Amino acid sequence: RQLEKAILIRLKIAAEDDTTDTVVQLEKLFIRSLSEMGRAARIADLADKLYGKTTNQQERAHVAFIATLAPSLTVIDENDNYHQATAVAEYGDEKHLKGRVDEIVKLIKEAKEPQTVDQLFDKLRYEHPAQVAALASISKQLAHLRDSWGLTKWPTVNPKNIRDKIYVILADNKKPMHFSDIAKSIKDKRFVLIGRGIYALDNWGYSKGTVSDIISDVLRKAGEPLHRDEIVKRVLKSRQVKETTILLNLQSKSQFKRVAKATYILADEV
């Protein structure tokens, strides 16, 4: 291990003295690519860009080796918190780079929900949003879906199974969807059946139970008799059903009592 480190130091010194022309030329190529990627990148991402394909472990090792030798680049070694990465040296040394990455992680933890690159950029002093995304990609604590970054344990940015993926689909759609559109049977407490074959997220305010259960809940919360039109209006906020289904339940269920023309109250409250 010590011999390996000594060799790397000698090679790095040689590169700084411009005695290894190959390293100098590759360093320029690396810096040019990094400049297009936010001036920092995971070694895997940089290798893919340089090779123009999805690289294998050996190809990534070649890129990491050259980055280690290049005097104008800073390298972050991989550990439990960081991916192996490199950045333009003017960004700072490894400690400084990790500090910037940790700053982004802290902001996301404080927000307690995924943040877009623009939201993070507004809170940080960087030259361009691309730098935020580049640094965020180095952290093993973060994941992203489209333009939003969050903790890896959050399914909204890192869906790990079909349920998580369906959750993301519904959250993105922002309205109830038929199961045929989701193309998967849903059996998860985060989803609520709100109509025949239609599902929504429970945090949208939709309610579980039968139509009569929803009507009972509406009347109980009202604490006073309600006209049928108002009952229909409130039920439809929690359940997607036909208006006639609501009216039929009002008229046929003994738990509801008409106290005036088209006006109802819970029977046990009379």
Q: In what order do the strands lie in the sheet with 226-227?
A: 226-227, 263-266, 256-260
Q: Is the pLDDT of residue 149 over 90?
A: yes
Q: Tell me the domain boundaries of the chain.
A: 2-91, 96-151, 162-204, 211-269
Q: What is the pTM of this model?
A: 0.58
Please report, rounded to a whole number, the percentage of residues in the chain having pLDDT higher than 70: 75
Tokens 């439809």 appear where? 236
Please report, rounded to a whole number, the percentage of residues in the chain having pLDDT higher than 90: 33
169-214 pLDDT tens trace:
677 677 776 666 665 544 445 545 545 555 555 555 555 667 788 8
Fold held by 211-269: Arc Repressor Mutant, subunit A (1.10.10)
58-114 pLDDT tens trace:
889 989 988 988 889 999 999 999 999 999 998 889 999 999 999 999 999 999 999
The region of weakest confidence among 19-23, 40-44, 202-206, 228-232 is: 202-206
Dihedral sign, Cα of residue 136, residue 138, residue 139, residue 140 = positive
- Predicted pLDDT at 4: 46
Which whole-number Å values give the CA distances from 100 to 48, 87, 104, 113, in the listed order?
24, 12, 7, 20
